[in-house]
Amino acid sequence: MTIGYRVRDLDDFESGLTVGDMLDFVEHAHEGMAIYRILNPDWPWSLTNLLLAEMLDAQVLWRWVDGGKKGPKPKPIPRPGVTETHTKSYTVSETSTVDEIDEWLKGRVKTG
């Protein structure tokens, strides 16, 4: 089967294109085909691009660590379909006095 078929060729017996051929054509489309891009919205992120992003993230992180971890930790390159799942949240609790902490610690110590 060669590229250049159209959907209207399904009605033309002389073209030799069957419904099964068309389904195979769509299922096994490569990245350069428009149908592949329609069916795979993340198509620009091929395996090569994902690996390059991983390498760049590793290099940036290594340089940050090698530089003494000065400044904020670098964020990775955003990937399609991946969301940041962990968010830090800080809460302010009431303060305790030294005596309250001593009482709490005494209750935690096992006696023997």
The count of residues in the chain is: 112
* 37-74 pLDDT, tens digit each: 899 888 888 888 899 999 999 999 999 999 999 999 99
**What is the count of structural domains for the chain?**
2
Q: Tell me, yes or no, whether 49 and 75 share the same domain.
A: yes
Please check whether residue 105 lies inside any domain of the structure: no
Q: Tell me, yes or no, whether 53 and 72 share the same domain.
A: yes
pTM: 0.49
Please check whether residue 94 lies inside any domain of the structure: no
**DSSP state at residue 14:** G
Taking every pair of C-alpha atoms in the chain, what is the biggest distance, in angstroms? 94
Q: Tell me, yes or no, whether 48 and 35 share the same domain.
A: no
Residue pair 43/31 in contact (Cβ under 8 Å)? The answer is yes
* 66-90 pLDDT, tens digit each: 999 999 999 999 888 777 776 677 7
Q: Please list the helix, strand and coil fractions of the chain in percent, rounded to the nearest 5, in that order.
A: 45, 0, 55
Position 8 confidence tier, pLDDT thresholds 50, 70, 90: confident
Containing structural domain, residue 27: 7-39
Tokens of 78: 């955003």
Please check whether residue 56 lies inside any domain of the structure: yes
